[in-house]
Amino acid sequence: MKSLQLLSFLLLSCIIISANAYEGKKKEALGSQSEHTTAKKYQRNLETKFRLYTDTAEGSCRVFVNQLETLDKCGFNASLPLVMIVHGWSVDGILESWIWKMAAALKSQHNQMNVIVADWLTLAHQHYPIAVQNTRTTGQEIAQFVEWLEESVQFSRSNVHLIGYSLGAHVSGFAGSFINGTKKIGRITGLDPAGPLFEGMSPTDRLSPDDANFVDAIHTFTKQHMGLSVGIKQPVAHFDFYPNGGTFQPGCHILHVYNHIAQYGINGIAQTVKCAHERSVHLFIDSLLHKDKQSTAYWCNDINTFNKGLCLNCRKNRCNTLGYNIREERLPKSRRLFLKTRARMPFKVYHYQFKIHIVNEIEGKQIEPAFTMSLAGTKEDAKKLHIPLVEGITGNKTYSFLITLDTDIGDIIMVKLKWEGTPVWENIWDTFQTIIPWRKGTRRPGLIVKAIRVKAGETQHKYTFCPQSIDNIHLHPSQEKTFVSCEDHFQRNI
Ligand SMILES: *[C@@H]1O[C@H](CO)[C@@H](O)[C@H](O)[C@H]1NC(C)=O
Ligand SMILES: *[C@@H]1O[C@H](CO)[C@@H](O)[C@H](O)[C@H]1NC(C)=O
Ligand SMILES: *[C@@H]1O[C@H](CO)[C@@H](O)[C@H](O)[C@H]1NC(C)=O
């Protein structure tokens, strides 16, 4: 983790250094301003290039504002909705490869749409603070583009969906707030909206829920260094998704830098830093490519509560679908939704809350939680799941935790719980038993697990499991106990 922090630190340092260099640059820019404005007068085109994605060899076709014939030439279909992809800050001045992956994914799954890439590279390939300033200009130009579509081909702005990554998320926000008239753009999706110079700003100075009829955001890299994080932490949408808590993403660990170097050469280092930031993009693409594997996220106060499995509730809009197929519901307040994901596509996991009632018969003796669990499902089994309990097992208490599975195992029909006693533990345990005379006869005390209750987030099904054998309910180190569905217990003879 040390080196990872170093890498993120380097990235942020770049931002900070360029922020300091900014003051000097500003004076320079002022000097050349008159020259710049005269140039602009003759230049009819906007700085932003609107590239309509096509299936041709060229890959895209440029649409020029105020040149109606370019819409026809490029094959813009005004009776279909428009999705516009807006990239972020550019370090190397070229369009990143995810843009075309996203365009292709949008087109292949939902061919009934126009896909345009808003190329603002000339304004984004700048020192970070300058690029930040330019987000307003670009937003303005996108708004003008949409207004022009409205005037020229009666294209309704409610049919526009802006998808902005990093700084592009705020560009989209500005586009939504600068557009003239009372009606709003249909939807804005912010993919890990940029944090530095936006975090804590007023809603008019960043992406906010007022910028479109519906706004959603996916936060994937909000790990903080020196008070700054690459992605914005605060909610900025109607639904704000925080995959894996939003701070950092699985598969983006520093160890993967070697894979990335193998794949991208020395640029692999940049890939590693971008990994968690860009994960927001790939989660969105995933939602387009894997229709049968849509990820559900759940409303929760914070990741710790979520990790206890306490938030898997879907009543009253408490859960929603991450990505393109989100249920568009405008709520008065932003909702933070949490979910876990895999490290690669398809990212979906299945979330379960387990509640286990344990009675520790040895008073005053705290048991280290070292349990594993195996599940038998109607479709598949899941073996040797680590139980993420952090607190020691004392007295008489119900423990709640979150378990995620990569595959759909169907309905759960049986649970096996094993106490993974280490040899050392067992030894102590036995010693302990020989010295202490037990009150209740010769019965060997242990842990009693009375019931295991399960709630499946994805299906909202609830299950209760009881010990298979009522006579032998004590669990000892290295032992495994089987729990069967209580509803079935008396009816079926499993
Ligand atoms: C535009 O899309 C509509 C709806 O799918 C379709 O009926 C129409 O043929 C398309 N127009 C062109 C020129 O492709
Ligand atoms: C909105 O209206 C003003 C005044 O007519 C105009 O200057 C501007 O270009 C329009 N569009 C945007 C996006 O500001
Ligand atoms: C555990 O606690 C519950 C309620 O607090 C009580 O009804 C039950 O008898 C206790 N069980 C044991 C074994 O102490």
Q: Average pLDDT over the chain, rounded to whole?
A: 85
Do the beta carbons of residue 454 and residue 353 sit within 8 Å? yes
Range of the domain at 431: 350-489
Same structural domain, 283 and 210? yes
* Closest-approaching ligand to the CA atom of 146: 2
Query: For residue 481, is it within any domain?
Result: yes
Res 39: pLDDT = 37
Same structural domain, 304 and 434? no
Do the beta carbons of residue 185 and residue 81 sit within 8 Å? no
Query: For residue 494, is it within any domain?
Result: no
> Catalytic pick from 60, 87, 192, 295?
192
- Residue 206 annotated in ligand binding: yes
**C-alpha closest to that of 214 among 182, 192, 236, 232:** 236
**pLDDT band at residue 395 using 50, 70 and 90 as cut-offs:** confident
Q: What is the mean pLDDT of residues 423-427?
A: 56
Distance CA 451, CA 399 (A): 11
* Closest-approaching ligand to the CA atom of 139: 2
Query: For residue 344, is it within any domain?
Result: no
Annotated catalytic, 192?
Answer: yes
Do the beta carbons of residue 231 and residue 222 sit within 8 Å? yes
- Beta-carbon contacts of residue 1 (< 8 Å; ≥ 6 apart): 254
**pLDDT band at residue 27 using 50, 70 and 90 as cut-offs:** very low
CA of 66 to the centre of ligand 2 (A): 14
pTM, rounded to two decimals:
0.87
Res 382: pLDDT = 95
Same structural domain, 334 and 416? no
Total tally of structural domains belonging to the chain: 2
Tell whether the model's pLDDT for residue 441 goes beyond 60: no
In the three-class reduction of DSSP (H, G, I as helix; E, B as strand; rest coil), residue 39 is classed as helix
**C-alpha closest to that of 406 among 423, 424, 381:** 381
> Catalytic pick from 8, 60, 166, 172?
166
Res 450: pLDDT = 85
How far CA 366 is from CA of 33, 391, 419, 429, in Å, comes to 72, 9, 14, 12
Using one digit for the tens of pLDDT, what is the confidence trace for 243-300?
999 999 998 876 555 665 566 665 555 666 689 999 999 999 999 999 999 999 999 9
456: domain CATH number is: 2.60.60.20
Q: Which of 317, 339, 361 is the endpoint of a domain?
A: 339
- Residue written as tokens 């330019």? 134
Query: For residue 345, is it within any domain?
Result: no
Same structural domain, 363 and 319? no
Instruction: Please give the angle made by the CA atoms of 252, 289 and 307, to the nearest 5 degrees.
Output: 45
Annotated catalytic, 277?
Answer: yes
Res 23: pLDDT = 35
Q: What is the mean pLDDT of residues 161-169?
A: 98
Annotated catalytic, 166?
Answer: yes
Q: Which of 315, 339, 363 is the endpoint of a domain?
A: 339
- Residue 62 annotated in ligand binding: no
* Closest-approaching ligand to the CA atom of 71: 1
**pLDDT band at residue 367 using 50, 70 and 90 as cut-offs:** confident
6: domain CATH number is: 3.40.50.1820
Angle, helices 257-264 vs 268-289, to 10°: value is 90
> Ligand 1, closest atom to CA 77?
1
Query: For residue 309, is it within any domain?
Result: yes
> Ligand 2, closest atom to CA 180?
1
Structure tokens at 427: 């030894």
Cα-Cα end-to-end distance for the chain: 48
Residues forming a β-bridge with 217: 190, 240
Distance CA 291, CA 249 (A): 22
Same structural domain, 462 and 413? yes
Same structural domain, 476 and 441? yes
Same structural domain, 318 and 356? no
Using one digit for the tens of pLDDT, what is the confidence trace for 200-256?
999 999 999 999 999 999 999 998 877 788 999 999 999 999 999 999 999 887 655
CA of 78 to the centre of ligand 1 (A): 8
CA of 125 to the centre of ligand 3 (A): 65
DSSP 245-299: TSS--TT-SGGGHHHHHHHHGGGHHHHHHHHHHHHHHHHHHHHHH-TT-PPEEEE
Same structural domain, 232 and 328? yes
